[in-house]
Structure 1
Amino acid sequence: MREDVLRLTAVSKSLPGGRRLFEGLDLVLAAGEQVAIRGESGVGKSTLLNIVAGLDAADSGEIMVAGRNLAGLDETERTVIRRDKIGFVFQAFHILPYLDLAQNVAFPLILQKIPRSKAIARAGELLDAVGLGERRRSYPKELSGGELQRVAIARALVHEPALILADEPTGNLDPDTAEQIMALLGRSVKQRGAAMLLVTHSPTAAATADRQLLLTPHGLVPAHG
């Protein structure tokens, strides 16, 4: 039986002004599973990712990440969960311009106090896996958008996280590159036994997931088409 990487139970969230984003939200995500969440702008998709990452707090409900209840953790402990258990892939890449590619990918390992030589070697392996091994000494300004997203995927996977959170990872990419990136991300997640929660407006990107869900004010419901 596959282990639950993420379990959300009766999660609710309102905006500071009082508008309810969603309530009664339930979700179980198992190791090796990819779930895509779709929904209109402003419905709370990115807010949901922030709640899962412990960057924002739900009004009510339970959030379990890799067996830990976020509500029972202080900020330092939530930071450790993000550092050790979660990998992030963003639409805007968030690649550090003053570091070369190997240093960018190694950054999560450096935060874990892994020896620098070992971290850089591991980063090189992940850059090889995403087809950028020969560019490991290049700087971000020398890369295309698709190449930068490959770097972001390598960085998200380098510390072997249990959970990948991807927020519009193909939003800045042309259709062909977007298709390649989603295929690469899907293979990487499956091969490493991670789980992925993908937030996207793109039906094409969502179709690569095992399940598609629609975020509504009353929680998550199956999405069709």
Structure 2
Amino acid sequence: MLNVAGLVKAVPGGRTLFEGIDLALAAGEFVAVTGESGAGKSTLLNLIAGLDSPDAGMVSIDGTNIASLDDDGRTRLRRDHIGFVFQAFHVLPHLDLAHNVALPLALQGRDPQEALHAAETMLASVGLGGRGDAYPRELSGGELQRVAVARALVHGPGLILADEPTGNLDPDTAARTLALFVERVRDTGAAVVLVTHSRVAAAAADRELVLTPTGLVQRG
């Protein structure tokens, strides 16, 4: 599903953030990426998603080299193959929960009623059944993160990228949200790259990789 080879990225000013990043991930594999603040963990996710471009190296998703695609092609690849869970939720405040979750399906051109039905089903699976007509301002932080998880999974992507998905939550809410996230992604069989500072979150993955300036190093 995911193949990253020889990835290099520098920051403004010319300092190399990291180099020699290699990562292969099959369907159903779940890895956590940890490392010091400023190591480039979020940058790595953005490179994998095609939201940023590496200085060298290659990212391939489902057999497609991202570098071979134009902007529209990268947008379609993200739309069809990737689900992104952001630390800051990025739930749209002017849309109710059902339309927030249905957004990936709408972008795929799915029938609106089918998309909303799928969104309501996914909301129920994350413990928010019957809340589709509520608005983000009515929800707690933990509930908003569950909406973000539902939105990332609703279109059945093969690859889930999660950037500190429990970082803004209190410990109890974080634990519940993490358990729900793990359950849902296990059910879908998606490959997962989870960036986190949390030892608890990292322990939920099949393996933990530490991001260093010279590559990903397996912990333990």
TM-score with structure 1 setting the length: 0.96
Distance 1:55 1:17 in 2: 20
Q: Is the 8 A contact 1:43 1:217 kept in 2?
A: yes
The gaps in structure 2 that reach 5 residues or longer are: none
- Say yes or no: does 1:38 pair with 2:34: yes
Distance 1:201 1:32 in 2: 22
- Say yes or no: does 1:136 pair with 2:122: no
Aligned to 1:186: 182
- Say yes or no: does 1:158 pair with 2:162: no
Secondary structure, counterpart of 2:98 in structure 1: helix
- 1:119-130 paired onto structure 2 within 5 Å: 119-130=115-126
Aligned to 2:103: 107
Segments of 4+ in structure 1 off by > 4 A? Answer: none
Aligned to 1:209: 205
Distance 1:147 1:21 in 2: 34
Q: Is the 8 A contact 2:34 2:208 kept in 1?
A: yes
Cα deviations by residue, 1:165-203 (Å, 9 ceiling, x for unpaired): 100100111111111111111111111110110111111
Aligned to 2:194: 198
The gaps in structure 1 that reach 5 residues or longer are: none
TM-score with structure 2 setting the length: 0.98
Q: Is the 8 A contact 1:33 1:190 kept in 2?
A: no
- 1:21-36 paired onto structure 2 within 5 Å: 21-36=17-32
Q: Which of 12, 16, 20 does residue 8 from structure 2 map onto?
A: 12
Q: Is the 8 A contact 2:96 2:136 kept in 1?
A: yes
Q: Is the 8 A contact 2:21 2:215 kept in 1?
A: yes
Q: Is the 8 A contact 1:106 1:155 kept in 2?
A: yes
Distance 1:32 1:178 in 2: 23
Aligned to 2:51: 55
**Identity among equivalent pairs (%):** 62
**In the TM superposition, what is the alpha-carbon distance from 1:156 to its structure 2 partner?**
0.3
**AA aligned opposite 1:62:** M
